Structure 1
Amino acid sequence: MKAAIAGIAASALTLCISTSAVFATDLRMTVWTGSEAHLKMLNGIAESFKATHPDVNVKFETVPVNDYTQKLTFQIAGGNAPDIAWMMEDAAPAFENANLLMDLAPTLKAAEGYDFDDFSKPAMGLWQKDETVYGIPFSTSPFMIYYNKDMFDKAGLEDPLTIAAKGEWNMDKFQEVSKKLAETNPGKWGFEFKDGEGYASRMTHALLPPIRAYGGDIWSNKECGFDKPEAVKAVKQLHDMVFKDKSIVPPGEQGDYFSGNSAMTVNQISRASKMAEAGFKWGIAPLPTGPGGESPVIGQAGLVVFAQGKNTEIAAEFVAHMTNKENVATMAQFFPPARKSVLQADAFINGNKLVPPEMMKNVAAAIEKGRVVSANEKAPQILAAMAPRVDALWKPDADVDAAIKGICAAIQPLL
């Protein structure tokens, strides 16, 4: 009898194990990081999901960043869409408008203790339309001014952080100090565009911050904004700084802020990792303001679930888990968050070993108040159409007004 009972118990255990194996769910999530530290953190979050979903396994699949969106598109077209994906801000509109993304709102708002309203509304602008939520930003990185304090000291100038604290860091002051920095550091520059680019590439990253400071935008509501008065003033000021003041690194030249050849640049918080090797004192300050007031610019990456995936409900529940307060705080060590409670926490303000708390407070404020870089589902075609018109702008004797009108004439049909 005992042997029979033992046999039945063993059979039941085998059946449970077999049933568990049959009903186990494997979620596939694409990312563009291969960082060991990033993947260790992500796998830790996936493991913690097992507390409520013991039969769910999450596999992170690294796709190189340079062809990430293209490969993701091919996977979807081939019927092999991942369950979850990281998505770049410039790709989001195309996927949203093609109805490829699941509405996460019901799942997120039903998740216990999730507190959806904790996310900064401006930071959600790209991912939410009315009550529909297409994605949740996991990395919200503001554009900031990096400055070489040694060069400011040599020029006898207050640094941008100090000027900003006095409420005087605006586009006019930016032009003034850039010119003096170039004059007092022969052979060097006052400012360079993001990553030393901005002419043939990163055109929008070069033009967008000053245009927004003046109260304009490069495009919005399917209308070109380059030829609006606010944008024209901003572009003309940049043109003067390049060719009259000779304070911005011009086309064809290399400034390289990180090597000490430019006093300022604009970049995101992740670039602070390069400053550990800098041979000069440095700091981070907000973008200059202008007639349009404070206009922080943020770049983003979001978490999305594909509507045609095989495990949409469980995938949405994992996104809710991954972006709850606890896990957003965990990810904040690598990815600036969009949750207001995490941004305001001491752990975030004091958690960056390279950036002092007074600078991190400005980073947090820029995230909470910032607007995402302008995106469009036809962004690649728009940038290709812009290129020759923008190239005509960056000439010493350019007809700036005509060049700006040319930009709008080229891109308006695509908007």
Structure 2
Amino acid sequence: MKAALAGIAVSALALCALSSQALSQELRMTVWTGSEAHLKMLNGIAESFKTKHPDVTVKFETVPVNDYTQKLTFQVAGGNAPDIAWMMEDAAPAFENAGLLMDIGPTLKAAQGYDFADFSQPAMALWQKGETVYGVPFSTSPFMIYYNKDMFDKAGLEDPLALAAKGEWTMDKFQEVSKELKEANPGKWGFEFKDGEGYASRMTHAFLPPIRAYGGDIWSNGECGFDKPEAVKAIKQLHDMVFKDKSIVPPGEQGDYFSGNSAMTVNQISRASKMAEAGFKWGIAPLPSGPGGEAPVIGQAGLVVFDAGKNKEIAAEFIAHMTDKENVATMAQFFPPARKSVLESDAFINGNKLVPAEMMKGVADAIANGRVHPAHEKAPQILAAMAPRVDALWKADADVDAAIKSICAAIQPQL
């Protein structure tokens, strides 16, 4: 009898363990940030999800930004897709058109108090086709100029924010001060491209702001824009800054604005999290204007659920939780929102402890007036076709006109 009771007890314990396993769910979510501040915030949002789903945990998996889309593609192709992923704007069309993403619209619209209509329609354009919602933008972040105030002061120059307030922050002024900053700060640089990667993985991020300032675009409506007169002027100015003025960090060199080796860089508001460790006074200003006027560039990232995922229903619910008004307001300190109510609030303007309100107003204005970085379903192929032609451009003795024409010849078939 005792043996029988013992057997029953063991079986009951085994069933309890299986039941506990069945109820417990871990969602895997890929991100490209390793920032301690970002991950602390994300884990806090995941913990608050337990109020409704106590047995659900979320594991955030950091994949380096330079390899992110490629590694995510490999994971999906290998049957190891994450439940949820951050997705860059230039990759979204390819994943959407391949039928890999879940329609999360019904889940979002059914969530109590969610207010789907609060999302800016221009911000949703990339993530929605008709009633189908492939993703939700969690960051609609304009490109801004980060500047080292100490280096400007040493050179006796007005900083970009002051110049912008006077209407004098133009592409010509940008070139002029970059050269003066280089001369006044020996061994350092006037400017570096976004994340120091303008010659490889960030090619389009290097080209787009000046090309837009001149009134052009890198591509539009299926047509290459690099060889248009506006773009050619912008690219030649950049080339002169790299090789004649020697004010922009050149290929093969590392500037690293965040450690004080470059006076300016382009980045998004999320990078303000790194500035707490900066050993210098700094600020944020709009991109330089040009003959095309002010032309803010917006980078966007969305949250998506893979349709083949085993946990896709609860994953969609987590996205609804993560992008409700309360959590969007929490994330807005690093990731400018697409929710109109949050973007227009004093909480957004005053909510970033690192960035003064006057600078955050510039961020809000850029979101309201900017255009998103161009996307394309063949973005990986376009970038691969561009790479060797762009390499040929970034040489001191390059035939710039010929190199630009070769870029368009390479990418036009993909467009």
Q: Tell me the amino acid that sits aligned with residue 331 of structure 2.
A: M
Query: 1:123·1:368 contact (CA, 8 Å) conserved in 2?
Result: no
**CA 1:316–1:365 in structure 2 vs 1: closer, same or farther (change >3 Å)?**
same
| Deviation of the 1:314 alpha carbon | 4.1
Match of 1:8 in 2: none
Kindly state the Cα deviation for residue 19 of structure 1 after the two structures are TM-superposed.
Answer: 12
For residues 374-403 of structure 1, what are the alpha-carbon distances to aligned partners after superposition, in whole Å with 9 as ceiling and x for unaligned?
333333332232122112222333222111
* Residue segments in structure 1 that go unaligned for 5+ positions in a row: 1-16
Residue 26 (1) aligns with residue 25 (2): yes
Instruction: Give the aligned partner of residue 137 of structure 1.
Output: 137
CA contact (8 A) 1:146 1:285 kept: yes
Q: CA contact under 8 A between 1:27 and 1:83: conserved in structure 2?
A: no
1:355 matched to 2:355? The reply is: yes
Give the aligned partner of residue 181 of structure 1. Answer: 181
Which residue type is aligned with residue 165 of structure 1? Answer: A
Aligned equivalent of 1:11: none
Q: Structure 2 stretches of 5 or more lacking a match?
A: 1-15
| Contact kept in structure 2, 1:23 and 1:55, CA below 8 Å | no
Moved more, 40-49 or 166-175: 40-49
TM, length-normalised to structure 2: 0.84
Change over 3 Å in CA distance of 1:48–1:183 after alignment to 2: closer
**Equivalent residue letter for 1:329:** A
Q: CA deviation at 1:130?
A: 4.0
What are the within-5 Å matches in structure 2 for residues 161-240 of structure 1?
161-240=161-240
Matching residue's letter, 1:228: K
CA pair 391-37 structure 1, distance change in 2 beyond 3 A: closer
Question: Could you say if the C-alpha distance between residues 121 and 169 of structure 1 is closer, same or farther in structure 2, counting changes exceeding 3 Å?
Answer: farther
Q: Once the 2 structures are TM-superposed, how far is the Cα of residue 69 of structure 1 from its aligned partner?
A: 3.9
User: Percent of pairs identical after alignment?
Assistant: 83
Shift of the 29–292 alpha-carbon distance from structure 1 to 2, 3 Å rule, reads: farther
Between 206-215 and 131-140, report the one with greater CA deviation: 131-140
Once the two structures are overlaid, the 10-residue window that deviates more, 57-66 or 379-388, is: 57-66
Provide the secondary structure at the position in 1 that maps to 2:87. strand
Q: Which residue of 1 aligns with 2:332?
A: 332
Instruction: Provide the residue aligned with 1:267 in structure 2.
Output: 267
* Shift in alpha-carbon separation, 1:27–1:94, aligned structure 2, 3 A: farther
* Inter-partner Cα distance in structure 1 for 2:42 and 2:151: 40
Q: Please state how far the C-alpha of 1:170 moved relative to its aligned partner.
A: 1.9
1:8-46 deviation digits (Å, cap 9, x = unpaired): xxxxxxxxx999969847362322356665555445434
Shift of 1:159: 1.0
User: What's the CA shift string for 1:179-226, capped at 9, x where partnerless?
Assistant: 333344444432222233322442211111111122222123332111
Deviates more, 1:140-149 or 1:81-90: 81-90
Q: Could you tell me whether the CA contact under 8 Å between 1:31 and 1:85 is conserved in 2?
A: yes
> CA RMSD, aligned part only?
3.0
What is residue 385 of structure 1 aligned with on the other side? 385
Specify the code of the residue in structure 1 equivalent to 2:25: D
1:353 & 1:136 partners in 2: Cα distance?
Answer: 26
Cα gap change, 1:131/1:217 in structure 2, threshold over 3 Å: closer, same or farther?
A: farther
- Per the alignment, residue 125 of structure 1 pairs with 125
Tell me, in whole angstroms, the C-alpha distance in 2 between the residues paired with 1:404 and 1:273. Answer: 36
Distance 1:395 1:326, change over 3 A: same
The answer to whether the Cα contact below 8 Å between 2:37 and 2:273 also exists between their aligned partners in 1 is no
2:84 alignment partner in structure 1: 84
Q: Which moved more, 1:231-240 or 1:401-410?
A: 231-240
Q: Is the 8 A contact 1:122 1:368 kept in 2?
A: no
Question: What letter matches 1:142 in structure 2?
Answer: P
SS of 1:413 mapped into structure 2: coil
Q: Tell whether the 8 Å contact from 2:273 to 2:334 is kept in structure 1 after alignment.
A: no
1:57 aligns with 56
**Structure 1 residues 124 and 215: alpha-carbon distance in aligned structure 2, compared to 1, 3 A threshold:** farther
Report the counterpart of residue 147 of structure 2 in structure 1: 147
One-letter code aligned to 1:224: C
CA drift of 1:83 comes to 3.5
Corresponding position of 1:13: none
> 3-state DSSP class of the match of 2:413?
helix
Give the SS at the match of 2:140.
strand
For residues 143 and 387 of structure 1, what CA distance do their matches in structure 2 show? 22
Cα drift, residue 138 of structure 1: 1.4
Change (3 A) 1:241 1:302: same
Per the TM alignment, residue 75 of structure 1 is displaced from its structure 2 partner at its CA by 4.3
Could you tell me how far apart the structure 1 residues matched to 2:230 and 2:168 are?
20
**Following the alignment from structure 1 to structure 2, what is the Cα–Cα distance between the partners of residues 59 and 277?**
28
**Hey, what does 1:403 align to over in structure 2?**
403
Q: Which moved more, 1:341-350 or 1:203-212?
A: 341-350
Match of 1:249 in 2: 249
Quickly say closer, same or farther: Cα 1:310–1:186, change in 2 above 3 A: closer
Aligned partners of 2:269 and 2:334 also within 8 Å: no
Equivalences, count: 399
Q: What one-letter code is carried by the residue in structure 1 that aligns with 2:27?
A: R
